[in-house]
Structure 1
């Protein structure tokens, strides 16, 4: 008889890709069968599959059960009971909330210029000008004639190789990412390695479908599951599934057959019905000045990325109304929730002045970057940054850090299924040293345990992890 763990989901956004990947990772450390049961929806899913977990439509406040049966069920029961009680509620955070759908009034100084305005909802503030550039949305149902099957064995081999390449590509991008980008790429890595997705793909190929046909069919299947969710946040995760499936198409058939969006060659305000996270990450941020989305929600992963890059972004945009101004200069105003088309000289001067004010503020702050820090009585203080990855080092030194006071190496071991290899660690430390250019870096050995769990190390649970009594330094 299965052991049952009963709990209530306390995650503010429900079980979506990121927390599901945490559950999946921990459950896969046990050989026992583990099933997640949402008592509200009566949906069940394999707890070792992020997609199956998301398909249970688990929202905040839902009563749930884990059903555990197998050789190590007692160990799994104890570990999962503790994890669901102490750590699961903290593996996700509330997202930035948009205060209201009601649009703010335009500034009087702008209104007096009688600009031609199209309103939309702000999800990332700021203003910028650029060429209105359309970006094709990712529609797997509009790919035309798909490649035909070359036999079950050949298609299975191509599929397995493609899945491996997708995982390697995501892992490569993770080496040069942090913050929101890293979290979203981790979620995509979880989806790409998901048991349910792989089984659905292989089933399609076994029935005589080509890899492309199986990928499109699988994307449709899981997107339909997400669409049935009562949470708009979970509905938006369908875009992540299409994103990962399109990456798989590119790895199997090449980017010439399934091309990515065009490269930006000039300052651009990009508009699209919707944009996948990978499409966003491919856009040159030196040229991307703003983003206009028709259906991107306020909590979509693309919007989260836009915020992390400080790209002014509006959603709920009337794309058809903007069509006449494609490839013309426009302004996006994320502070006012407005798109200014056919800007006259006065409007252009208004936004140029806005840009000068922001540049002046940054310049005022920049003068302190090279100043030595001292106390009021003249004692010299070194200003050093704390970092968790080499990619943070360049920004830290660029913003005036005189050294790295703490390189938190434990972060390199967390949120993954196995420890980083020696070559990966070597490259990360070399990148940090290159950015330091002779300045000091203090490296802390793995600060693991207690309130910093690493599932694959199987560290025993503590009664109060925040006391840090059993924090370990692994050498």
Structure 2
């Protein structure tokens, strides 16, 4: 338990920023001989994982598990900052309660401080305290936990009336340490109150040590002079801490379950008091996720629950937790379920058994995460992140290395994206007005998010923003805010308490993945808070700039002014992160994973970003700047020349033609692709049409969506990939069981063949929208001729009815078996399109999103090139054409190799079309074939790149 003395408290501290305050806190613990100096790094590492801001102006810095070796003895140091300081997550902090703990003792301290936060005016009192004793009195409050578990039940007693039961129940509370003998004596003189359904209640406040609820039942229902007796509850009341016990008792009576309590075993009685009705179907399942029920698996669980035809509730079997709605993201996360604990699902009505079984099965399958039995992954063996190095701002003309994300050179001032701060009153007198203000802000926030979803339609950003919109509709989150307003808080304070409570419930599991989801929740919260406070999100400068951020979130993406952003630098992320994908789509120079030092840069500091080599130069010297300007000028001249010739065909100097098309996810962008010189759409990712709708789009909806692209193309061909979703890209309205490896599971053609009516509708829509215009349809994830024939059978049934006149049916080459069997496929398919992203990961057995191995997932690996060569040779032998629609098609080194291998078409991002065409025009077919032969003779991807760069 937290105990403080005057030496533990330092008043009137001052720091220029949160890092200096953290250093002061670490020094205070060091001076007190609680820790060694290295513990400071543990404090920094913990903040890097997630903010330790607790609420009401209090932050609770503490080290990571790895830093416990630097703790000499458990202790606390409290530092007061009367003027306040801005924490790294944007909150205003007046008090640091810095913890050194050798094991998990700090969890008790956190629980105690959480209760402190519930007290009105505590933040202001702590900020203005002038004596250490005042701070100690405010913080040293013992947390109160209401008790209701097997220890407070005494069942099947041989008694004659309700008075004896009342005494047994009171005695049970005394044995549990909740009350003293005086409480029992007071209960002895109190007649029980009738609750109905044969249940009675006695209660008292005198002699209560801690609140609790006991139940005593007779060995069989009895009648005494007052009526029917099935059981007597005894409530030890204390302040407001027993309120939840009364609410659960009220719920039991409202469901009519009280009459059945007599004769039930303890486990079933606790289930009824937790919120499960007697008629409910239940299912139990052990949670195996390594990091417990954090946000990502919780969201998967909520999605499965929302797909059920009736409400499902969930609780933890361990302890006495209440059953909560399985459709509330914040409530599910708030359970704090850990690996190894048991979840209990309950539901009532027709289909209840199937509903709870579906949720239990989803948990068994890992809720989107790989899981192993407890014995195979003991908790203590889980890997832990190493603490980061101290943050040192980059010096003048210093070169920093990062991960290349998007080629190009950018020279511009830095714009460092930082979170805004919000000022608002904690309390308000008119609760009704505050509730209306919050409802308006929630509506406004939802409208903003929906507008951003439409603006970013067709990509992963839109999906994440849709999740944000879903969070705003979470009834539990709204209700928590409204309850806080009813208690006298302002709309701003009530909303942020609801957001912060939900976010801290996620962060409490000490999981970095969870911290990212908590950041999503706070991003949503800040959007609404900004509307309430009239505070705009940070506005980028009017002149061109290089965006520097920790990482680029979906809201940031949607706000980017692509006319001003010259480059992108992120502290986190990899080559396949959202920020890297965004930069390549925008055609701007970018590096990612540059480390936290870049966040210490000042806005306005000049930067040079080299996106091809993964370099950043801060405040460059005049000589270095001149060299970079010359390179940039040369690059811009090439781009201008390419843009001027963008509508010309891409022919080599000796007349060999290669078509260049555009990859699209949004049909609305087809006109832009044509304007940039695309000779057609080489890949339409039709799954984004499905992802943009809350339910399966019908025939008319799909015809309208595809028709927009055909109209914009003006007779140019459109190559459409049929629906490609599965375990790695789920649809909310098409729930699927979790797979250990979704990339090797039911996705692409394998999935749509399980529901042929979906694929048939899509084929009909594409053919109808095309009419007399050229359409090329291809099936994804084909492994052999059998799967192609299954899809073609549906096509052959639809085509005679629609009678589209210019149609080809092809295969995506993404699986090595498909490339190796290309000779058999080429006899029946009209064309091949090589998806080099998937083909590379399957050939090299490297997940392209793997945080460590993704850099080795290089499509210029000679094994991938040989599969491309086999595919092209097989296709040309049958008079078929071959395209490449993966990112390899826009790689400047790879273009001549692909041309030399005989690829007939390259499909790239719209912005890349002019430069890809220009690169082809600079070649001869003879040179290209020589370079392809050179690449095939190498033994590694690095060898291929070195050989090509040396030419």
Please confirm whether the aligned pair reaches a TM-score higher than 0.5, indicating the same fold.
Answer: yes
Q: Secondary structure at the match of 1:204?
A: helix
Specify the alignment match of 2:866 in structure 1. none
Match of 1:216 in 2: 496
Taking a change above 3 Å as real, the CA distance of residues 206 and 46 of structure 1, as seen in their structure-2 partners, is: same
CA contact (8 A) 1:409 1:445 kept: yes
Tell me, what secondary structure is at the counterpart of 1:48?
A: coil
Distance, in Å, in 2 between the alignment partners of 1:265 and 1:53 is 44
Alignment of 1:171-190 (within 5 A): 171-177=450-456, 178-190=458-470
1:319-347 residue CA offsets vs partner (Å, 9 max, x unmatched): 68634xx4243223566765423323321
Deviations 1:215-273 (A, max 9, x none): 222232233223323322221333222211122134445xxx21121233222124467
Whether contact under 8 Å (1:48, 1:195) holds in the other structure is: no
Contact 2:298 2:329 in 1 (8 A): yes
For 1:298, the equivalent position in structure 2 comes to: 573
Query: Is the 1:409–1:443 contact (alpha carbons within 8 Å) kept by the matching residues of 2?
Result: yes
* Cα distance, 1:307 vs structure 2: 4.2
Which among 330, 338, 343 is matched to residue 620 of structure 2? 343
Q: Residues 276 and 445 of structure 1: is their aligned pair in 2 closer, same or farther, counting only changes over 3 Å? A: closer
Q: Which residue of 1 aligns with 2:169?
A: none
Report the Cα distance in structure 1 between the residues aligned to 2:335 and 2:295, rounded to whole angstroms.
Answer: 12
Query: 1: CA distance between counterparts of 2:416 and 2:658?
Result: 50
1:387-426 equivalences in 2 (<5 Å): 387-394=664-671, 396-397=673-674, 401-404=678-681, 411-414=688-691, 417-418=694-695
1:191 equivalent in alignment to 2:471: yes
- Quick check: 1:329 aligned with 2:603? no
Offset of residue 45 of structure 1:
6.7
Name the CA distance, whole Å, in 2 between partners of 1:123 and 1:16: 31
**What does residue 76 of structure 1 align with?**
355
1:166-192 Cα deviation digits (max 9, x unpaired): 223222222232323123212212222
Structure 2 CA distance for aligned equivalents of residues 444 and 333 of structure 1: 34
Match runs of 1:171-320 below 5 Å: 171-177=450-456, 178-252=458-532, 257-271=534-548, 277-291=554-568, 297-298=572-573, 304-305=578-579, 307-310=581-584, 311-313=590-592, 315-318=594-597
Q: 1:44 to 1:424 in 2, by over 3 A?
A: same
Give the superposition deviation at 1:211: 1.6
Shift in alpha-carbon separation, 1:219–1:457, aligned structure 2, 3 A: closer
Measured in 2, the distance between the counterparts of 1:9 and 1:244 equals 29
Q: Does 1:6 align with 2:285?
A: yes
1:137 equivalent among 419, 424, 435: 419
2:442 corresponds to which of 163, 168, 180 = 163
Q: Is the Cα–Cα contact under 8 Å of residues 455 and 558 in structure 2 kept in the other structure?
A: no
In 1, distance between residues paired with 2:703 and 2:455? 14
1: distance between equivalents of 2:594 and 2:672? Answer: 29
Query: Are the structure 2 counterparts of residues 17 and 420 from structure 1 closer, same or farther at C-alpha, using a change threshold of 3 Å?
Result: farther
**Shift of residue 425 of structure 1?**
7.1
Query: Which of the numbers 427, 433, 444 marks the counterpart of 1:154?
Result: 433
2:307 matched to which residue of 1?
Answer: 29
Partner of 1:95: none
Q: Comparing both chains, which one has the higher relative contact order based on Cα–Cα distances under 8 Å and sequence gaps of 6 or more? A: 1
Deviates more, 1:441-450 or 1:426-435: 441-450
Q: What per-residue deviation string (whole Å, max 9, x for no partner) do you get for residues 330-379 of structure 1?
A: 223566765423323321133235546766887899879743799xxx9x
Distance 1:269 1:456, change over 3 A: closer
Please, what is the CA RMSD of the aligned residues? 5.2
Contact 1:51 1:196 in 2 (8 A): yes
TM-score (normalised: structure 1): 0.70
Distance 1:243 1:314 in 2: 21
For 2:702 and 2:532, locate their aligned partners in 1 and report how far apart those are by CA, in whole Å: 29
Normalised TM-score (structure 2):
0.38
Query: Which structure 1 residue ranges, 5 or more long, are not aligned?
Result: 92-99, 104-113
Report the 3-state secondary structure (helix = DSSP H, G, I; strand = E; otherwise coil) of the residue aligned with 1:129: strand
* 1:131-188 deviation digits (Å, cap 9, x = unpaired): 13344423xxx41234864622333233233323322322222223232312321221
Alignment check: 8 A CA contact 2:610 2:616 kept: yes
Contact 2:552 2:578 in 1 (8 A): no
Maintained 8 Å contact 2:313/2:326: yes
Match for residue 107 of structure 1?
none
> Do structure 1's residue 468 and structure 2's residue 745 form an aligned pair?
no
Contact map agreement 1:21 1:190 (CA 8 A) in 2: no
Aligned residues: 438
Name which of structure 1's ranges 334-343 and 153-162 shifts more when overlaid on structure 2: 334-343
Question: Residue 110 of structure 1 corresponds to which residue in structure 2?
Answer: none
Which segments of 5 or more consecutive residues in structure 2 lack a partner in the other structure? 1-279, 371-385, 390-394, 585-589, 739-744, 766-951
Separation in 1, partners of 2:292, 2:606: 41
Residues 306 and 159 of structure 1: is their aligned pair in 2 closer, same or farther, counting only changes over 3 Å? Answer: farther
* Secondary structure at the counterpart of residue 617 of structure 2: strand
Aligned partners of 2:615 and 2:729: how far apart in 1?
Answer: 43
2:429, 2:488 within 8 Å by CA — same for their partners in 1? no
Q: Distance in 2 between matches of 1:340 and 1:450?
A: 41
Q: 1:214 to 1:78 in 2, by over 3 A?
A: same
Whether contact under 8 Å (2:416, 2:601) holds in the other structure is no
Residues 150, 289 of structure 1: alpha-carbon distance in 2 compared, 3 angstrom cutoff: farther
Which residue pairs with 1:97 in the alignment?
Answer: none
